[in-house]
Each structure stands twice: as C-alpha cells, then as structure tokens.
Amino acid sequence: MSRDLLKSYRFREERQADWQKLDLILTRAENGGVKRLSDEEMLALPRLYRQAVSSLSVARSISLDQNVISYLESLCTRAYFFVYGARTTIGERIMVFLRKDWPASVRAATLPTLLSALFFFGGWALAFFLCVQDMDWFWTFHGQNFFDGRNPDATVEYLRSTIYTDGYGEGELSAFSSTLFNNNAQIALFTFALGFAFGIPTAWLLVYNGVMIGSLYAVFWDKGLGYEFTGWLAIHGVTEIFAIILAGAAGFIIGGAVAFPGNRTRLASARAAGQQAATIAMGCVVMLIAAAILEGFGRQLINSDGTRYLIAAATGVLWTAYFYLPRRERQE
C-alpha cells in the first residue's frame, strides 16, 4: 500500500463513524423534519457538522481520495441547511403562511385596501347611477351583444331565468368552476402585477371591473330584480371581490414604493415592498379558488335567495374575522 493510500485510509477510518452518524441524522431530518430528531441528535448536529467541515478542509489540503472529498462536500452541504437554514417543512411553512404571514400582511395594508375598495366601488356606483338615470350608458360601457342577452332590452322573465338555474351535471360544474377561476385569477394577477407603473393600471382595472358589475347590476335593479340579483352575486362575490380588492391593494403597495421610494432607489424600494405585496397576492389565489367553488357549485345548485344571502354573510364574517381580529402571537 502506498504512503498516500495509507494516509487516506487512516484519515477516513478515524473519522468515518462521525460522518456516518451525521449522515444518519440528516437522513432522518430530511425524511420527517427536524421534529423527528431527539434532543441528543439536535445537540450533536452542529458539533458533527463542524467536524465534517474540518475534515473536508483537511481532506482538500492534503489531496486525499477525490471520492472522500466529494462525499464530505455533499454531507456538509446537506448539514448546512439544517444548521443554518430554515427548519421547517413545506407543510409547516404553508401553515405559518395561513396562520400568520398572510393575515398580518393584509392587516398592515389597511390604507391600500381602502384605496383599492374606493376605486372598485367608486366605478361600481358611478356606472350604476349613470345607467339608472339613462340606460344608454349600459351600451356605452359594454357595447352591443354583451352578457348573453342580459342587457336593458331583456325581459324580466329572461333576466330572472339567468339568476336561477338547474340541470347542471357535475362535470359541467367542475369545468365552469375552473373557467371562472382562470378568468378571476387573470383579473387579480393583472391588478397586482401592473401596480409597478405607479399604481395607475391597477386603479384603472379596479374602476373598469367596478363599472362592468355596476352597470349590469343597474339592469337587474331597473327590472325590479335587485334583491334576487344581489343574492346571486353575493354568494361568491363577497369572496371574489374581496380577493380582487386585496390584489389591488398589493398593486398599490408596489406602485407606492416605486412612486415614493424615499432614500432608496426605485428598484430597491419596490423590492422591499415586494414581500408584503407578494404575500397578499398569493393569498388571493386561495380566496379565488374558494370563490370559484362557490360560484361554480354553490350559485348553480342553490336557488334559494335566503340561503345565498346566508352563505354570503357567513363568508364576509369569516374573511373579516380571519384578517382583522386580533390574535395572540405564537412562538414558532
């Protein structure tokens, strides 16, 4: 046996037990999370990591077997993330997001949320009152042949038939729900993503969508179907419109950071605001999924006005409590 091979053999033999122990601890942590580790293993992990790093340094300096060096590099890299990186699994991270990060970001964005709601409902109110005064405004907003006949020329019976439905199969409802989610997600995504342009496109999109709904609402109101249409819209609209308003708030956060960067560059200011805005926008996806389910299934299967109002009120109370009720902070 040559001198180098003997040196490599002894180096490995003297330290291999610690490397294997570290490898075993890391494998258990990777498969089940750090909570699977005992107190002794948690205490041993940083010590074994430092020993492995020291062994790697020595191995590189005396040019030992390349396989040993590669093994130690891999072992140290794996150990680094558990010693210095985030000690949570994906499931734990999702729970932290839902329990803490998302509602905290929404609560911290009260003013942008109010501003977003002002633009949306401002457009809604403007279109509604204009159309109620003169229904020709509806055609100005929508053009001809819009909303599948739901326009000022439609009869009361036809408009009523669009509020109460039946005969949908499960497959049709699933496809309908998916289509609605895609459409609403695009609106929310653009409302958030275009905020970087000083929030101007965000404001325009909010007003535009408010105008679309407000003018349609005026058509049903003018035909004496305001109560029925409100229930039809609210069963999913409370969640959906809330999500769009929050997406708009996220857009205004980015737009405000770009427009008023303070002592930072505009890019640095946008990057600093991006985490809060992105957290809110990601949460909006959860709300839009819930809205699509309510719209695709609940609204199509439930024809009782009272039940629709009850579900709408429940969703409003739940979202408000979830976001704005004070809660005790837990130690993570």
Cα gap 313→15, rounded to integer Å: 66
pLDDT band at 167 (very low <50, low <70, confident <90, very high): low
Mean pLDDT value of segment 47-72: 79
| The pLDDT of residue 128 | 95
pLDDT band at 61 (very low <50, low <70, confident <90, very high): confident
pLDDT digits (tens, 9 = 90+) for 172-190: 556 656 666 777 777 777 8
pLDDT band at 195 (very low <50, low <70, confident <90, very high): confident
Q: Where are the alpha helices (DSSP H) in 134-199?
A: 136-142, 156-163, 170-193
Contact 277, 165 (CB under 8 A): no
pLDDT band at 319 (very low <50, low <70, confident <90, very high): very high
Q: Sort 195 into a burial class: Cβ within 10 Å, 0-12 / 13-18 / 19+.
A: buried
**Residue 103 above 90 pLDDT?**
yes
Q: Sort 153 into a burial class: Cβ within 10 Å, 0-12 / 13-18 / 19+.
A: exposed
Contact 45, 82 (CB under 8 A): yes
Q: Mean pLDDT lowest for which of 60-74, 174-188, 198-212, 257-271? A: 174-188
Cα gap 181→254, rounded to integer Å: 24
Tell me, what amino acid is at 155?
A: T
**What does each C-alpha distance from 239 to 124, 152, 209, 211 come to in angstroms?**
17, 27, 15, 18
Tell me which range, 32-36, 144-148, 189-193, is most confidently predicted by mean pLDDT.
Answer: 189-193
Mean pLDDT value of segment 234-255: 92
Cα gap 23→287, rounded to integer Å: 42
Higher pLDDT residue, 328 or 262?
262
Q: Which tokens belong to 238?
A: 């409370």
Half-sphere exposure of 221 (CA within 13 A, CB side): 18
Mean pLDDT value of segment 42-51: 83
